[in-house]
Amino acid sequence: MVPKDHRRRQNLTIRPTTSTLAIWPTSSLDICEQIALPPAIPNERDFANLRLEAYTSTGFNVREYELIAEWYASERVDQTGVPEATTLASSIPRGSVVLDVGCGNGIPITRALLSGGHRVIGLDSSSAMLANFRHNCPEAFAVRGIVQSCPFADCMFDAAVAWGVMFHLNPEDAIRAIANVSRIVKLGAPFLFTSGDVDAFEGKEGKMNGVTFRYFSYSVHSYRRILGDQGFTLVDVHADSGNNTYYLAKKAEPPT
């Protein structure tokens, strides 16, 4: 079963980004340039000589979104996901540092988080997507890379969002992604993501603008177990009017 929100994820914008924290790869394996860091981000030195082995995952292939970038920019015009992102934004203190995984061109999720008064760092594997991100969200920051091996310090973020990302990751990479998000968010931080709601490990094929993508998923029961294994508590699962399934988890506080 292909997750229902794949057609919406297919609609965001694109280009190679350099937001104020833009870090750019010189090759498929290197992050080469640090431009500026957002204020009050801890462990700023960790960004100085970042090198990220991107594109080595067996899951998401960057090439597909590069191929549909401009088409995607014109398609992502609805506000799907905004109510959920806005609710998350209002649940944390103003000025929080939020990671937008698979930020694409920043519309509409990053903009919703920025409108909530937060500092946002986008993470995306597509340089084409990130170019439009810079234009659409100049007050935000972006890093080119993948969530399975993201180059951020431990406990850096107050919240994380991954809209339209998890179903592109095969089962092993999905677990790596959740583990990395758990590592980089603070205790008590919310993590909102979309995915399917059935176990689909073989990868179903679907097309966006003629380009073939593969889609994977875990069931709600499986996600609850995996999140728990990685230090999260699953607190809510719901579907929107378009049958997109949202998972809200929180990084568990240590027992007292």
Q: Where are the domains of the chain?
A: 6-251
Residue 54 banded pLDDT, cuts 50, 70, 90: very low
Taking only the tens place, the pLDDT of each residue in 146-172 is 899 877 889 999 999 999 899 989 999
Give the rounded percent of residues in the chain with a pLDDT score beyond 70: 73
What is the second-level CATH architecture of the domain 6-251? 3-Layer(aba) Sandwich (3.40)
Residue 40 banded pLDDT, cuts 50, 70, 90: very low
Question: Is pLDDT at 48 greater than 50 in this prediction?
Answer: no
pTM over 0.75: yes
Question: Please, are residues 184 and 150 in contact by the beta-carbon 8 Å criterion?
Answer: yes
Torsions phi, psi of 45, nearest 5?
Answer: -60, -25
